[in-house]
Amino acid sequence: MAAIENSVIVPAYHEKLNIKPLTTRLFAALGNEFSKTTELIFVDDNSQDGSVEEVDKLHKNGYNVRIIVRTDERGLSSAVLRGFYEAKGEYLVCMDADLQHPPESVPQLLEKLRNYPFVLGTRYAPGVGIDKDWPLHRRIISNGARCLAKPLTSASDPMSGFFGLQKKYLLEAPKDSLNAEGFKVALDLMVKLPLPPKDPIGEVPFSFGVRTEGESKLSGKVIVQYLVQLKELYIYRFGAANLLTFIVIWSVLIMYLLFVIYSSLF
Protein backbone atom coordinates (compact mmCIF):
# COMPACT_ATOMS: atom_id res chain seq x y z
CA MET A 1 0.00 0.00 0.00
CA ALA A 2 1.30 3.51 -0.88
CA ALA A 3 2.35 5.76 2.01
CA ILE A 4 -0.10 8.46 3.03
CA GLU A 5 1.04 11.92 1.87
CA ASN A 6 -2.21 13.88 2.17
CA SER A 7 -4.74 14.10 5.00
CA VAL A 8 -8.11 15.80 4.66
CA ILE A 9 -9.54 16.79 8.05
CA VAL A 10 -13.24 17.48 8.50
CA PRO A 11 -14.60 18.80 11.80
CA ALA A 12 -18.10 17.41 12.13
CA TYR A 13 -20.93 17.83 14.56
CA HIS A 14 -24.29 16.26 13.65
CA GLU A 15 -23.26 15.81 10.04
CA LYS A 16 -24.35 12.20 9.35
CA LEU A 17 -26.25 13.12 6.19
CA ASN A 18 -23.23 14.90 4.68
CA ILE A 19 -20.65 12.19 5.37
CA LYS A 20 -21.39 9.90 2.41
CA PRO A 21 -21.72 12.60 -0.28
CA LEU A 22 -18.58 14.33 0.95
CA THR A 23 -16.55 11.09 1.00
CA THR A 24 -17.66 9.84 -2.41
CA ARG A 25 -17.29 13.25 -4.08
CA LEU A 26 -13.87 13.80 -2.51
CA PHE A 27 -12.38 10.47 -3.61
CA ALA A 28 -13.95 10.81 -7.07
CA ALA A 29 -12.31 14.24 -7.38
CA LEU A 30 -8.97 12.92 -6.17
CA GLY A 31 -8.86 10.29 -8.92
CA ASN A 32 -6.89 7.05 -8.84
CA GLU A 33 -3.42 8.37 -8.11
CA PHE A 34 -4.19 10.96 -5.39
CA SER A 35 -6.69 8.58 -3.72
CA LYS A 36 -3.97 6.02 -3.01
CA THR A 37 -1.99 8.51 -0.94
CA THR A 38 -4.84 10.37 0.76
CA GLU A 39 -6.72 9.72 4.00
CA LEU A 40 -9.94 11.40 5.10
CA ILE A 41 -10.51 11.99 8.84
CA PHE A 42 -13.73 13.23 10.41
CA VAL A 43 -13.36 14.67 13.90
CA ASP A 44 -16.75 14.31 15.56
CA ASP A 45 -17.73 15.53 19.01
CA ASN A 46 -19.82 12.57 20.06
CA SER A 47 -22.78 13.48 17.86
CA GLN A 48 -24.33 10.02 18.38
CA ASP A 49 -26.35 10.50 15.20
CA GLY A 50 -25.07 7.49 13.24
CA SER A 51 -21.97 9.28 11.88
CA VAL A 52 -19.67 6.53 13.20
CA GLU A 53 -21.69 3.78 11.51
CA GLU A 54 -21.77 5.79 8.27
CA VAL A 55 -17.97 6.14 8.26
CA ASP A 56 -17.54 2.42 9.08
CA LYS A 57 -19.70 1.50 6.08
CA LEU A 58 -17.65 3.71 3.77
CA HIS A 59 -14.41 2.26 5.16
CA LYS A 60 -15.69 -1.27 4.49
CA ASN A 61 -16.48 -0.17 0.94
CA GLY A 62 -12.80 0.62 0.40
CA TYR A 63 -12.57 4.37 1.14
CA ASN A 64 -9.58 5.43 3.26
CA VAL A 65 -11.73 7.21 5.81
CA ARG A 66 -11.89 7.12 9.60
CA ILE A 67 -13.56 9.03 12.39
CA ILE A 68 -12.17 10.34 15.67
CA VAL A 69 -14.88 10.72 18.28
CA ARG A 70 -14.11 13.16 21.09
CA THR A 71 -16.11 12.83 24.27
CA ASP A 72 -14.26 15.34 26.44
CA GLU A 73 -13.98 18.37 24.15
CA ARG A 74 -16.17 20.50 21.87
CA GLY A 75 -15.42 23.08 19.21
CA LEU A 76 -14.46 23.51 15.57
CA SER A 77 -10.89 24.81 15.96
CA SER A 78 -9.85 22.26 18.57
CA ALA A 79 -11.36 19.47 16.42
CA VAL A 80 -9.31 20.62 13.42
CA LEU A 81 -6.09 20.78 15.45
CA ARG A 82 -6.74 17.30 16.88
CA GLY A 83 -7.16 15.96 13.34
CA PHE A 84 -4.03 17.74 12.11
CA TYR A 85 -1.86 16.32 14.90
CA GLU A 86 -3.22 12.78 14.34
CA ALA A 87 -2.94 12.93 10.55
CA LYS A 88 -0.36 10.76 8.80
CA GLY A 89 0.13 13.03 5.78
CA GLU A 90 2.60 15.89 5.35
CA TYR A 91 0.04 17.86 3.32
CA LEU A 92 -3.00 18.74 5.43
CA VAL A 93 -6.33 20.13 4.23
CA CYS A 94 -9.24 21.28 6.38
CA MET A 95 -12.77 21.55 5.04
CA ASP A 96 -16.29 21.73 6.45
CA ALA A 97 -18.56 18.68 6.31
CA ASP A 98 -21.54 20.56 4.92
CA LEU A 99 -20.37 20.70 1.26
CA GLN A 100 -20.14 24.49 1.27
CA HIS A 101 -16.48 23.82 0.48
CA PRO A 102 -16.46 21.90 -2.82
CA PRO A 103 -14.62 18.55 -2.55
CA GLU A 104 -13.73 19.05 -6.23
CA SER A 105 -11.36 21.89 -5.23
CA VAL A 106 -9.32 19.72 -2.84
CA PRO A 107 -6.90 18.39 -5.53
CA GLN A 108 -6.06 22.02 -6.41
CA LEU A 109 -5.29 22.78 -2.76
CA LEU A 110 -3.12 19.67 -2.49
CA GLU A 111 -1.23 20.51 -5.67
CA LYS A 112 -0.62 24.09 -4.56
CA LEU A 113 0.58 22.86 -1.17
CA ARG A 114 3.60 21.32 -2.91
CA ASN A 115 4.78 24.91 -3.60
CA TYR A 116 3.36 26.91 -0.70
CA PRO A 117 3.60 26.30 3.07
CA PHE A 118 -0.02 27.43 3.53
CA VAL A 119 -2.88 27.44 1.01
CA LEU A 120 -6.14 29.26 1.54
CA GLY A 121 -9.42 28.64 -0.25
CA THR A 122 -10.75 32.10 -1.13
CA ARG A 123 -14.24 33.31 -2.07
CA TYR A 124 -12.86 36.72 -3.08
CA ALA A 125 -11.35 36.30 -6.55
CA PRO A 126 -12.53 36.84 -10.12
CA GLY A 127 -15.05 34.25 -11.27
CA VAL A 128 -15.98 32.91 -7.81
CA GLY A 129 -18.17 34.10 -4.97
CA ILE A 130 -20.74 33.27 -2.37
CA ASP A 131 -24.07 31.62 -3.20
CA LYS A 132 -26.83 34.23 -3.54
CA ASP A 133 -28.90 32.30 -0.97
CA TRP A 134 -26.32 32.76 1.81
CA PRO A 135 -28.25 34.84 4.39
CA LEU A 136 -27.72 38.62 4.58
CA HIS A 137 -26.89 38.57 8.30
CA ARG A 138 -24.11 36.00 7.63
CA ARG A 139 -22.70 38.23 4.87
CA ILE A 140 -22.65 41.20 7.25
CA ILE A 141 -20.99 39.23 10.07
CA SER A 142 -18.48 37.71 7.65
CA ASN A 143 -17.56 41.07 6.04
CA GLY A 144 -17.24 42.77 9.42
CA ALA A 145 -15.05 39.96 10.75
CA ARG A 146 -12.94 40.07 7.59
CA CYS A 147 -12.33 43.82 7.95
CA LEU A 148 -11.22 43.38 11.55
CA ALA A 149 -8.67 40.76 10.47
CA LYS A 150 -7.22 42.92 7.67
CA PRO A 151 -4.24 44.29 9.64
CA LEU A 152 -3.20 40.77 10.62
CA THR A 153 -2.79 39.13 7.22
CA SER A 154 -2.61 39.92 3.52
CA ALA A 155 -4.77 36.87 2.70
CA SER A 156 -7.92 37.79 0.75
CA ASP A 157 -10.30 35.58 2.78
CA PRO A 158 -9.00 35.26 6.35
CA MET A 159 -12.43 33.99 7.50
CA SER A 160 -12.23 30.95 5.24
CA GLY A 161 -12.49 27.54 6.85
CA PHE A 162 -11.19 25.84 3.66
CA PHE A 163 -7.39 25.69 3.76
CA GLY A 164 -4.27 23.55 3.81
CA LEU A 165 -0.77 23.57 5.23
CA GLN A 166 2.44 21.61 5.31
CA LYS A 167 2.56 19.74 8.58
CA LYS A 168 6.21 20.56 9.32
CA TYR A 169 5.24 24.19 10.01
CA LEU A 170 2.55 23.10 12.47
CA LEU A 171 5.06 20.94 14.30
CA GLU A 172 7.50 23.84 14.57
CA ALA A 173 4.98 25.91 16.58
CA PRO A 174 4.48 25.16 20.28
CA LYS A 175 1.07 23.46 20.69
CA ASP A 176 -0.02 25.76 23.51
CA SER A 177 0.65 28.88 21.40
CA LEU A 178 -2.36 28.08 19.18
CA ASN A 179 -5.89 29.21 19.97
CA ALA A 180 -8.19 26.18 20.01
CA GLU A 181 -11.35 28.17 20.79
CA GLY A 182 -13.99 29.19 18.26
CA PHE A 183 -14.04 28.81 14.47
CA LYS A 184 -11.07 30.81 13.13
CA VAL A 185 -8.31 28.26 13.18
CA ALA A 186 -6.96 29.23 9.73
CA LEU A 187 -6.43 32.86 10.78
CA ASP A 188 -4.66 31.77 13.96
CA LEU A 189 -2.33 29.48 12.01
CA MET A 190 -1.58 32.10 9.32
CA VAL A 191 -0.54 34.59 12.00
CA LYS A 192 1.32 32.28 14.36
CA LEU A 193 3.04 29.56 12.34
CA PRO A 194 6.69 30.22 11.49
CA LEU A 195 5.97 30.47 7.76
CA PRO A 196 8.80 31.74 5.54
CA PRO A 197 8.50 35.49 4.73
CA LYS A 198 8.63 34.97 0.95
CA ASP A 199 5.34 33.68 -0.57
CA PRO A 200 3.99 32.07 2.59
CA ILE A 201 0.38 31.79 1.38
CA GLY A 202 -1.03 30.49 -1.90
CA GLU A 203 -4.70 30.97 -2.71
CA VAL A 204 -7.23 28.76 -4.49
CA PRO A 205 -10.47 30.47 -5.53
CA PHE A 206 -13.67 28.53 -4.86
CA SER A 207 -17.40 29.24 -4.90
CA PHE A 208 -19.01 28.98 -1.49
CA GLY A 209 -22.24 26.96 -1.65
CA VAL A 210 -25.16 26.73 0.74
CA ARG A 211 -25.84 23.94 3.18
CA THR A 212 -28.56 21.52 2.12
CA GLU A 213 -28.42 19.13 5.12
CA GLY A 214 -28.12 19.96 8.83
CA GLU A 215 -27.54 23.43 10.19
CA SER A 216 -24.76 25.91 10.98
CA LYS A 217 -23.33 25.87 14.52
CA LEU A 218 -22.27 29.52 14.41
CA SER A 219 -23.59 31.17 17.59
CA GLY A 220 -23.18 34.37 19.60
CA LYS A 221 -20.60 32.52 21.68
CA VAL A 222 -18.51 31.83 18.55
CA ILE A 223 -18.62 35.55 17.65
CA VAL A 224 -17.41 36.51 21.13
CA GLN A 225 -14.67 33.86 20.87
CA TYR A 226 -13.59 35.50 17.60
CA LEU A 227 -13.34 38.96 19.21
CA VAL A 228 -11.26 37.54 22.08
CA GLN A 229 -9.05 35.76 19.55
CA LEU A 230 -8.63 38.99 17.55
CA LYS A 231 -7.47 40.84 20.65
CA GLU A 232 -4.95 38.09 21.34
CA LEU A 233 -3.72 38.12 17.73
CA TYR A 234 -3.35 41.91 17.70
CA ILE A 235 -1.25 41.74 20.84
CA TYR A 236 0.72 38.81 19.37
CA ARG A 237 1.43 40.75 16.18
CA PHE A 238 1.78 44.33 17.44
CA GLY A 239 2.64 43.93 21.14
CA ALA A 240 0.61 44.87 24.23
CA ALA A 241 3.06 47.63 25.15
CA ASN A 242 1.91 49.67 22.21
CA LEU A 243 -1.50 50.13 23.77
CA LEU A 244 -2.22 53.51 22.24
CA THR A 245 -1.62 52.27 18.70
CA PHE A 246 -3.74 49.25 19.54
CA ILE A 247 -6.66 51.42 20.67
CA VAL A 248 -6.35 53.69 17.64
CA ILE A 249 -6.32 50.71 15.25
CA TRP A 250 -9.37 49.24 16.96
CA SER A 251 -11.28 52.53 16.85
CA VAL A 252 -10.58 52.91 13.12
CA LEU A 253 -11.58 49.31 12.50
CA ILE A 254 -14.80 49.62 14.45
CA MET A 255 -15.70 52.77 12.55
CA TYR A 256 -14.93 51.00 9.28
CA LEU A 257 -17.03 48.03 10.41
CA LEU A 258 -19.99 50.30 11.19
CA PHE A 259 -19.57 51.88 7.76
CA VAL A 260 -19.59 48.42 6.07
CA ILE A 261 -22.71 47.39 8.01
CA TYR A 262 -24.40 50.68 7.09
CA SER A 263 -23.53 50.32 3.39
CA SER A 264 -24.71 46.67 3.28
CA LEU A 265 -28.05 47.67 4.77
CA PHE A 266 -28.78 50.84 2.81
Ligand X SMILES: Nc1nc2c(ncn2[C@@H]2O[C@H](COP(=O)(O)OP(=O)(O)O[C@H]3O[C@H](CO)[C@@H](O)[C@H](O)[C@@H]3O)[C@@H](O)[C@H]2O)c(=O)[nH]1
Binding ligand X by CB under 6 A: which of 8, 12, 109, 110? Answer: 12
Number of residues that bind ligand X (CB under 6 A): 22
**In the complex, minimum distance from the CB of residue 197 to ligand X, in angstroms, rounded to a whole number:** 26
Helix, coil or strand: residue 210? coil
Nearer to ligand X, 108 or 160 (CB): 160
Contact flag: residue 183 with ligand X (CB under 6 A): yes
Nearer to ligand X, 86 or 199 (CB): 86
Q: Is 197 exposed, middle or buried, given 0-12, 13-18 or 19+ CB atoms closer than 10 A?
A: exposed
Q: What are phi and psi of 191, to 5 degrees?
A: -80, -40
Residue showing the smallest CB distance to ligand X in the complex: 161
Binding ligand X by CB under 6 A: which of 65, 97, 148, 149? Answer: 97
Task: State whether the Cα torsion 250-170-202-134 is positive or negative.
Answer: negative
The H helix count followed by the E strand count for the chain is: 9, 7
Nearer to ligand X, 68 or 246 (CB): 68
Q: Among residue numbers 56 through 75, which ones bind ligand X (CB under 6 A)?
A: 74-75
Neighbouring C-beta atoms of residue 187, cutoff 10 Å:
28
Nearer to ligand X, 2 or 136 (CB): 136
Binding ligand X by CB under 6 A: which of 39, 45, 54, 181? Answer: 45
Neighbouring C-beta atoms of residue 88, cutoff 10 Å:
13
Binding ligand X by CB under 6 A: which of 23, 35, 100, 229? Answer: 100
Contact flag: residue 11 with ligand X (CB under 6 A): yes
Q: Which residues contact 80 (CB under 8 A, 6 or more apart)?
A: 9, 11, 43, 94, 185
Task: State whether the Cα torsion 115-205-231-72 is positive or negative.
Answer: negative
Q: How does DSSP assign 6-58, residue by residue?
A: EEEEEEESS-HHHHHHHHHHHHHHHHHHHHHTEEEEEEE----SSHHHHHHHH
Contact flag: residue 160 with ligand X (CB under 6 A): yes
**In the complex, minimum distance from the CB of residue 121 to ligand X, in angstroms, rounded to a whole number:** 8
**In the complex, minimum distance from the CB of residue 98 to ligand X, in angstroms, rounded to a whole number:** 5
Contact flag: residue 79 with ligand X (CB under 6 A): yes
Binding ligand X by CB under 6 A: which of 177, 212, 216, 242? Answer: 216
**Residues found near ligand X in the complex (CB under 6 A):** 11-13, 15, 43-45, 74-76, 79, 96-98, 100, 159-161, 183, 216-218
